[in-house]
Amino acid sequence: MHYRIVAATCLVAALAFGAVSTVMGQNKQPAPKPKEEPRKEEPKPEPKPEPKKEEPKKEEPKPEPMSSEDYEGMMKKIKTAQGKLKANLKNKKGAEAAAAAEELAKLAADILRYDGDVKEGDNKGKKVRDQKDFKEWAEGLKKAAENLAKHAKASKWDDAETEKDNVARTCSNCHDVYDK
């Protein structure tokens, strides 16, 4: 081979090589971007059960409020029942005393219907029947009268006397605060 041809061939080869490597260099791909992790789907929250429609809370059916007038009439009956109770107890008439005590207990349940407002103090203007102590005294009267009826029927006079005093105490405790 002629020396020139060899040289030219070499040159071409060199150029070609250079070009190829340049191109390849250019082609060198940039480090592949870290593949984006496929977004992990947020775990879907369990489909919530349809929010239940708030049922109106079932409250104990409240008895009709009692006007002051009716209430006073009821208190008078309470006083009459208490009078009968005392007299029959004194004479040791168990059945009659028990009947009066039961009447008293029944009437006592109506005390919680009183529609009056508290007249003075922190709770002024609120319903008397919503006051804790008022409720306790009303319930205390009912309970004492019920116990008394049992004791009178069983001729347990001492126990009956104790409950008679408890009855009287609820009257005066409540009146001291709410009968103004």
Of 8-47, binders to ligand HEC (CB under 6 A) are: none
Residue given tokens 């006592």 in the structure block: 108
The conformational region for residue 177 under phi > 0 = left, psi -120 to 50 = alpha, else beta, is: alpha
Q: Supply the minimum distance, in Å, between the C-beta of residue 100 and ligand HEC.
A: 11
Instruction: Report the distance separating Cα 130 and Cα 113, nearest Å.
Output: 10
Q: Should residue 92 be labelled a site residue for ligand HEC when binding is judged by CB under 6 A?
A: no
Quote the Cα angle for 108-112-117, to 5°.
130
Segments in 29-154 forming alpha helices (H): 68-90, 94-110, 132-153
Q: Should residue 101 be labelled a site residue for ligand HEC when binding is judged by CB under 6 A?
A: no
Q: Should residue 119 be labelled a site residue for ligand HEC when binding is judged by CB under 6 A?
A: no
65, 116, 150, 153: which one contacts ligand HEC (CB under 6 A)? 116
Q: Should residue 134 be labelled a site residue for ligand HEC when binding is judged by CB under 6 A?
A: yes
Q: Supply the minimum distance, in Å, between the C-beta of residue 154 and ligand HEC.
A: 22
